[in-house]
Amino acid sequence: MGEDGSGRTPELTTERARTAGPRQAWAGLPWPVQTAVTWSACLVVVVTGLWLLGKIAVLLAPLAIALAGTLFLTALLDPVLLLLRRLRVPAAPAALLTILLLLGVLVGVGALVWNLTASQFGELSQQLDQGVERSRDFVTSTLPVTEAQLDRLIQQARQGLSGGAPDPIRGARTAAEVAGSLLFALVLLFFLLKDGRSMWRWVLRRMTGPNRAVTAEAGRVGWRTLGSYSRGTMMIAAIDATGIGLALVVLRVPLALPLALITFLGGFVPIIGATVAGAVAVLVALAANGPTTALLTLAAVIAVQQIEGNLLEPLIMKRQVQLHPAVILIVVTAGTLIAGIAGAFVSVPIAAVTWRVIDTVQRHRSPAPA
């Protein structure tokens, strides 16, 4: 093997020359071109990853929704389980008693509401139809829209809804999937309440080095965020339902209890749920008592929601859930498109927990400031 005058072998010189060509060509490009190529490659990788995650989420939507709902209930019921454990109740009976308490509350509240409002839901539908008719008259009298054009738009919307309605076979299959998901969620809820902490400790014991501390901190922050969101959302929804329900009673709007129940359920879907529930209440007030009562109902709904958004939510949620309203709208819309109403319910807590975990890991891995 010979060497050139610099003491390097010809093979080494040839290899370096071969690798130096692309580097010199890349270095010779203008910096805007280098930046555009780099960001385009990163964008392609990110979009491909998001597309794959979306396909997986659509395929596993029932499992993902059941798992997310189970984690939501676990975080909500965790204080009850801890109270039973402090009273020296073993893990398995404590988890079973917690689930039975949940089922008892749901069945009791559902039976009470049904007995009080079952005869009023038919009237609620009629009141909504009358409210829509009055709104239609208001639109045609104040806006440059004729009755024929408005009827055509309404007919197109109805055709779209009826065209998207599932057939009986698909409906039966969906009902079977829902029943299976509920059974799966109850069984998984029992095991998470019974062995959730021991499972987490098992995961941490399998990690070594600094990853254990980062994972433990991220897990604590994520679990705290989910618990704060679940309990805070329930409290805020109950306060909204109580406030709007009292306003409807004072204004003598009929069907106050069903409307309060709709408001409570809508509180679990941020922004969109409150808007829809408030619109239903205003329509019923318009149909029952006229535009003056409808305007007063609208003012009451806005006042309650402003108090909830500016005072109660920061006080109850504190700083555990930090998502911009625009992000919440996007997340709720994406969850609805993927899994319907169930996706709308669980999309925000998933996004909040994911953001808090990523933020915690990022802060741990970032170098300390000088």
Q: Give the pLDDT score at 190.
A: 92
For residues 62 and 56, the answer to whether their CB atoms sit within 8 Å is no
Cα–Cα dist 96/107, whole Å: 16
CA contacts within 13 A on the Cβ side of 131: 23
Q: Nearest-CA neighbor of 305 among 358, 244, 254, 353? A: 244
* Highest-scoring range by mean pLDDT, 155-164, 193-202, 266-275, 284-293: 193-202
Which of the four pLDDT bands, split at 50, 70 and 90, describes residue 166?
Answer: very low
Helix (H, G, I), strand (E, B) or coil at 337: helix
* Residues in Cβ contact with 44 at an 8 Å cutoff, skipping those fewer than 6 apart: none
Out of 16-20, 38-42, 148-152, pick the least confident. Answer: 16-20
> Domain locations in the chain?
61-136+173-365
Q: Write the DSSP string, 351-365.
A: HHHHHHHHHHHHHHH
Cα–Cα dist 150/147, whole Å: 5
* Long-range own/partner contacts, residues 215-220 (CB < 8 A, 24 or more apart): 217/360, 217/364, 218/357, 218/360, 218/361, 218/364, 219/357
Cα–Cα dist 326/340, whole Å: 20
- The percent of residues above 70 in pLDDT, for the chain, comes to 71
Q: Nearest-CA neighbor of 345 among 241, 273, 277? A: 273
Arithmetic mean of pLDDT, 134-144: 67
Out of 66-70, 122-126, 307-311, pick the least confident. Answer: 122-126
Residue 290 backbone zone (phi > 0: left; psi -120 to 50: alpha; other: beta): left
Which of the four pLDDT bands, split at 50, 70 and 90, describes residue 9?
Answer: low
Tell me: the pLDDT tens digits for 35-89?
Answer: 888 888 888 988 888 788 777 867 777 777 788 888 888 988 889 999 998 998 9
For residues 338 and 61, the answer to whether their CB atoms sit within 8 Å is yes
Q: Nearest-CA neighbor of 58 among 333, 331, 335? A: 335
pTM value > 0.85: no
- With a cut of 60, say whether residue 341 has pLDDT above it: yes
Residue reference for tokens 């029943």? 179
For residues 229 and 320, the answer to whether their CB atoms sit within 8 Å is yes
- With a cut of 50, say whether residue 165 has pLDDT above it: no
Buried b (16+ CB within 10 A) or exposed e, 223-245: bebbbbbbbbbeebbebbbebbb
Tell me: the pLDDT tens digits for 211-225?
Answer: 788 888 888 888 888
- With a cut of 70, say whether residue 329 has pLDDT above it: yes
Q: Which two tokens stand for residue 34?
A: 């280098």
Arithmetic mean of pLDDT, 177-186: 78
* Number of C-beta neighbours around residue 272 at 10 A: 15
* Number of C-beta neighbours around residue 336 at 10 A: 17
For residues 269 and 236, the answer to whether their CB atoms sit within 8 Å is no
